[in-house]
Chain A
Amino acid sequence: MNFFTRMVLAQMMLGLNNGAFYAILSLGLAVIFGQLNIINFAHGAFYMLGAFVALLGYTSLSVLPGLAGFHMNYWEALLIAPLVVGLLGMLIERTMIRHLYKLGNLYGLLLTFGIALIIQGLFTNYFNVSGTSYNAMPDILRGTVNLGFMRFPTYRLWSIIISLGVCLGTWLIVERTKLGSYLRAGTENADLVQAFGVNVPLMISLTYGFGVGLAAFAGVVAAPIYSVSPIMGEEMIITVFAVVVIGGMGSIMGAIITGLCLGMLEGLTKVIYPPAANTVIFFMMIVVLLVKPTGLFGKDQYGE
């Protein structure tokens, strides 16, 4: 293998790593949009919250009475953070977002954007914006693996595998199970599904909780790689929205595939012309919007 091929393969792997994060975040957005018709601008804030639950669980829980000496480890954080953040999401859905379903989705966007600003502002007030290291990475995931063309950090390999696993699991649940069929039916005609005895409002709350739980999960997976900072979600969310626009709102497989492909495209750009790395996705977005405004995998809601 010559130098250039090795370099390209290496960058593709790194792109896949970022793409896995894009996929899991845009997947959550797609699920929420599909069910609630809400463009969830608070998604980045929940991603950040997930990372903070992991961080604070590891460093700060032990000061609470009855928990002396307790440090939530990485594996526990992978489960607990999405649950905690998911419950918070459900609370927000029940108390605030619920009132906006009858209005246009611009109102939901504004509300969730406001929620994101409040959460982020609170964390900026109490935590270092330049970030804090999360040091609870399990020993088994430290070090590097030889992939033949490069030595790849074990943790990054793990983060690709676990993210893809969660993405596929979600796709299976929504597309291939009875619960999923209720969800999809609820999107088409909520009144009719309710008439069959399904508790649609509860289903909607659970969907929102699940969607933001996915964001929190991505936050925990990202915590050992990036610094945990109050603005980590803000930086991520804009790119992820571009991914969703390119993939098409509401398509689950579309969100997953687009996330992965755009991650790799970004990786390649970093070798070929580095200064364009953070604009290439937006360039793609413009092209897609011109050629196919509903997105690569989006359905034309008027054409059918």
Chain B
Amino acid sequence: MKKHLIQAVAIVLLLGLAPLANAAGIRNGVVKIGVLTDMSGVYSAIGGKGSVVAAKMAVADFGGKVLGKPIEVLSADHQNKPDIASAKARDWADTDHVDMIIDLLNSGCGLAVQKIGAEKKVIIINTGAGATALTNEQCSPYGIHYVYDTYALPKVAASSIVKHGGKTWFFLTADYAFGHSLEENTAAFVKADGGKILGQVLHPLSTSDFSSYLLQAQASKAKVIGLANAGGDFINAVKQAREFGIVKGGQTIAGLLVFLTDVKSLGLEAAQGMEFATAFYWDRNKASREWSKRYFAKTGAMPTMDQAGVYSGTMNYLKAIKAAGTDDPDAVMKAFRAMKINDFFAVNGHLRRDGTMVHDMFLVKVKKPSESKGPWDLLKIVRQVPGDQAFMPMSQGNCPLVKGKK
């Protein structure tokens, strides 16, 4: 009888305390962070293993524990396939109780995983994918778009190029959703600043020979050839433009989504003089240099804006948990939105209601070989553009969360 009583009391206590345990502190006694990225495909140099290293560095720098509980980093390869990304995210949410998923690195995967995050209350910090839909029609109360989007990059690059005489444009566009949206946004900025679009040509994704398209661009006599593509397509296009003497002939190449690894691949000889927008460059100031050198020591390469964003995103997520006193996603998001984000990566950053992490962007120019002092001395910063001028104003966006608030 007495035994039963103790059992009953124990059960009542447990039942009574369970909701309390949920409301404060760390659920399941551990914070799990999942790095979901492209480990072996076309984008793996931009994120991949480097992103996992960055996330682990953030956890180690934070002390390995938050609110006295351990932090664990998991990683997986989504192979750039949205179905694999969704399956992994679901698996992580249901069986591993992952609290936050970071990187994503591909708009298709990013959108799919953000949807699952909204459903399962898992915070998604998107550092690698660019689609503006993440913070517009498909925005989520648990989704954060941390590094760049296809609005901010062309806004910073195109406006500057048009103002400095690049009035006529011809686009080489990758023939899928990302390429189209990049071209469309860029064209709008070019026209808004008084420029003119002379034409465009669509090329299939993963094209190795751009010579035909480049000849068409050359024949258009446009001052600027805008490359609305990324990664290997971008590199091949720039390389071959040089081969056909396009830059020597007076036309400018404008890359609309360029990562540090792309410039490294091309080499300064081929890429020199090109201007583009970026969220991060390792040699910007003392803090960014110090962090990047530590990262370099672990990976043998300087970080891309995506990899640096993974570190910063993870670090600030952990700070938000600490500020909230719990890893409950609603409380963490609330704390995140209240924070000022300033570190080696983000300048004047803050998280908006629609999920955009607004921060200053940079217009950079690729150095001449004679200006470079080392293998990673590739860029110089031309201009710092305040976040509210670079990112799409919330009033122009169509995120239902924002409308609901009005």
Contacts and interface: CB of A to CB of B under 8 A. Distances in A.
B40 A11 contact: no
Interface residues of B, number: 38
Interface stretch (A60-68, A121-129, A186-194, A208-216): A121-129
A131 B213 contact: no
A135 B242 CA distance: 13
Contact of B239 (A133, A156, A274, A279): A133
A231 interface: yes
Given A7-B215, A7-B219, A14-B209, A133 B267 contact: yes
B175 A128 contact: no
Contacts of B262: 130
Nearest to B219: A7
B269 A129 contact: no
A232 interface: yes
Contacts of A105: none
Interface stretch (B41-49, B130-138, B316-324, B331-339): B41-49
Contact of A227 (B46, B202, B232): B232
Given A128-B261, A130-B42, A232-B208, A225 B243 contact: yes
A231 to B, nearest CB: 7
Contacts of A184: none
Nearest to A274: B201
Contacts of A271: 212, 216
Nearest to B234: A130
Interface string A226-246: 110101100110000000000
A227 B204 contact: no
B296 interface: no
B181 interface: no
Interface in A1-43: 3, 7, 10-11, 14, 17-18
B272 to A, nearest CB: 13
B245 interface: yes
A275 interface: yes
A135 B269 contact: yes
A297 B141 CA distance: 62
Nearest to B269: A135
B228 interface: no
A132 B175 CA distance: 24
Contacts of A129: 40-42, 44-45, 232
Given A130-B45, A130-B235, A155 B243 contact: yes
A197 to B, nearest CB: 46
Interface string A268-279: 001100110111
Given A14-B215, A130-B261, A226-B239, 9 more contacts: A3-B219, A129-B44, A130-B231, A130-B235, A131-B236, A150-B215, A156-B243, A227-B232, A277-B207
Interface of A: 3, 7, 10-11, 14, 17-18, 121, 124, 128-133, 135, 144, 150-151, 153, 155-156, 225-227, 229, 231-232, 235-236, 267, 270-271, 274-275, 277-279
27 contacts: A3-B219, A11-B215, A121-B40, A124-B44, A128-B261, A130-B45, A131-B232, A131-B235, A131-B236, A132-B265, A133-B266, A133-B270, A135-B269, A150-B215, A155-B243, A156-B211, A225-B239, A226-B208, A227-B235, A271-B212, A274-B213, A275-B175, A275-B202, A275-B203, A275-B204, A277-B212, A279-B204
